[in-house]
A and B are shown apart, each in its own frame.
Chain A
Amino acid sequence: MANDILLALVVVTALAFDFTNGFHDTGNAMATSIATRALSPRVAVGLSSVLNLVGAFLSLSVAATIASGLVSTGEVTVTVVFAGLVGGIVWNLLTWYFGIPSSSSHALIGGVIGSTLAAAGGSAVQWKGLFSKVIIPAGLSPVIAILVATAGTWLVYRISRNIRAGTRNHGFRIGQIGSASMVSLAHGTNDAQKTMGVITLALIANGTLNSGASAPLWVIVTCALAISLGTYAGGWRVIRTLGKGLVEIESPQGMAAESSSAAVILLSSHFGYSLSTTHVATGSILGTGVGKQGAEVRWGVAGRMASAWLLTLPCAALVGAASYGLATLIGKPWGVIVDLVLLIAVAATIYLRSRGTRVGQDNVNAEWEGTVTETRAPAAAPAAAA
């Protein structure tokens, strides 16, 4: 009975993580289209949400891959998975509050590694796998994305420099929406799969499924819905940073950025690198600033993001480890329940604090004033957009 309650709590927590994954990453696909007004904010998140849902169903055979090659799966218990998820959620919420596009995958991996460390010590973590599968690709992927997006932007501007305004505006708007849609689809496929993997891992750890089993249908459906709903909620703070904070984006740049993101994400997953869509999308947007003559790239904002990326794994790991420690200190199943209550309290606090400096669809495109929440008073009545 206690085990069943525990398992149910893990599933709910995993879906909550999936939801934060969705809203944290809406900006990866849609920030550029929102910034150039190719799509209205509401239509953009709606489109992205539907495509994430479709993308999640494109991946039908899911195994518990998130932890394989990173931690000894034999040491993974249901409580370890739960504590790892807590680490991931807390980091996602904190970075969302500060409007920093950080990797949800890293948050999850960090959380699981932290809780595994707390449960079984350093020998249970496969450090080489962590470097070769997570850390090195994370360092390379933004660089590749910058390269591809710079080349794409330069070419697009060079080719289209003196064509008529009508063709240019209309054409690049369509190109931008198409390429952003591809990123949304790829995101649904990649990221929804991670939560499906985590729930499957918990089911295996609990003995409900045999090891090596693939995700049951209900797991696929609930994860697809959770990430899609999260995307629809729209992480406006992160969208604002990506769309307005890094580079002032025009439609041709938006198209080049999203094409680069889609290509790099799809190619990497083909070669077995589970990349962070966030790192790729951020790199691509920076690249469009580098590739367009005279564009201003705010390297300070980019630097702030990069430092958050370095902190993601250790910080999520710390929360994951603390959460595991508390859960085992109190014992089954109350430890997990106490953790969960604390998690809800932290989430509620962050949410309430965010209300003070709210970013929504009405002010997401306001002039950038240095940070995500410093916006000039909107000239038009914000009520009209709400």
Chain B
Amino acid sequence: MNDWINLHALWEIVVFGLLAGAGLPALFAVGLRFLAMTRPGSPGPAAAGANGSGPAPDAVVGGSTVGMVLAGICFVIVVAAIGWGIYFIVLSSH
């Protein structure tokens, strides 16, 4: 049967496919979650913007410094993975 299907490659495509194809968007979502974090002490997202002290509900960044740093780390990993993907395309075609 292995003549017909390369089970080893299939297994690797599934595992790495899940890591890159599902893991990276999940990491991106984690980054967004950090980005939306509000400063400690400011009202939660539900009340934000209502009394003028928190960010407006349509603001992209929540305002927490720690959140922004953590978000930055997530986004750097995602961008690095994409860069590696492009490098991979160039490499595998030579």
CA distance A170 to B25 in the complex (A): 15
Select one of A58, A128, A152, A256 contacting B89, CB under 8 A.
A58
Q: Which residues of B contact A152 (CB under 8 A)?
A: 21-23, 25-26
Is A185 touching B89 in the complex (CB atoms < 8 A)? yes
Contact indicator per residue, chain B 3-15, by CB within 8 Å of chain A (1) or not (0): 1111001101110
Interface hits, A326-348 → B, CB 8 Å: none
- Which A-chain residue is minimally distant from B59 (CB atoms)? A166
Residues of A within 8 A of B31 (CB): 171
B93 in contact with A260 (CB, 8 Å): no
CB neighbours (8 Å) of A273 from chain B are 9, 13
Is A156 touching B57 in the complex (CB atoms < 8 A)? Answer: no
- Give chain B residues whose Cβ lies under 8 Å from the Cβ of A167: 32, 35-36, 59-62
The yes or no answer to B29 lying at the interface (CB within 8 A) is: yes
A interface list, Cβ under 8 A from B: 55, 58-61, 128, 131-132, 136, 140, 144, 147-149, 151-152, 155-156, 159-160, 162-168, 170-172, 175, 178-179, 182, 185-186, 189, 193, 252, 255-256, 259-264, 266-273
B46 to chain A, nearest CB (A): 9
Could you say which interface size class chain B belongs to? 35 or more
Query: In whole angstroms, what is the CA distance A58 to B22 when docked?
Result: 25
Does any Cβ of A come within 8 Å of B24's Cβ? yes
State in angstroms the CA–CA spacing of A174 and B61 once bound together.
14
New contact pairs (17) apart from A259-B24, A260-B22, CB-CB < 8 Å: A59-B89, A147-B17, A148-B18, A152-B26, A155-B25, A156-B25, A159-B26, A160-B33, A163-B36, A164-B59, A171-B35, A171-B60, A172-B32, A182-B86, A189-B89, A189-B93, A268-B13
Residues of B within 8 A of A256 (CB): 22, 25
* Most chain A C-beta atoms within 10 Å of own C-beta, residue among B14, B26, B48, B82: B26
A79, B3: Cα distance in complex, Å:
33
A260→B9 CA distance, assembly (Å) = 17
Contact of B32 among A147, A155, A163, A260 (CB under 8 A): A163
Majority secondary structure, B binding face: helix
Cβ contact within 8 Å between A179 and B14: no
* Contact status of A164 and B48, CB under 8 A, knowing A140-B10, A171-B32: yes
B55 CB, min distance to chain A CBs, angstroms: 8
Q: Contact between A132 and B60 (Cβ–Cβ < 8 Å)?
A: no
**Chain A interface SS verdict (over half):** helix
Do A156 and B29 have beta carbons less than 8 Å apart? yes
Chain A nearest Cβ from B57, distance in angstroms: 6
Cβ-closest chain A residue relative to B37: A163
Q: A155-B26, A170-B60, A267-B12 are in contact. Are A58 and B90 (CB under 8 A)?
A: yes
- Complex alpha-carbon distance, A162 and B62, angstroms: 13
Task: Determine if B56 and A267 form an interchain contact, defined as CB atoms under 8 angstroms apart.
Answer: no
A178 CB contact (under 8 Å) in B55, B57, B82: B82
Q: Would you call A271 and B26 a contact (CB within 8 A)?
A: no
B17, B24, B90, B92: the one within 8 Å of A264 (CB): B17
Q: Once the chains bind, are B25 and A165 in contact (CB under 8 Å)?
A: no
Residue in contact with B22 in the complex, picked from A60, A148, A168, CB distance below 8 Å:
A148
Shortest CB distance B69–A (Å): 16
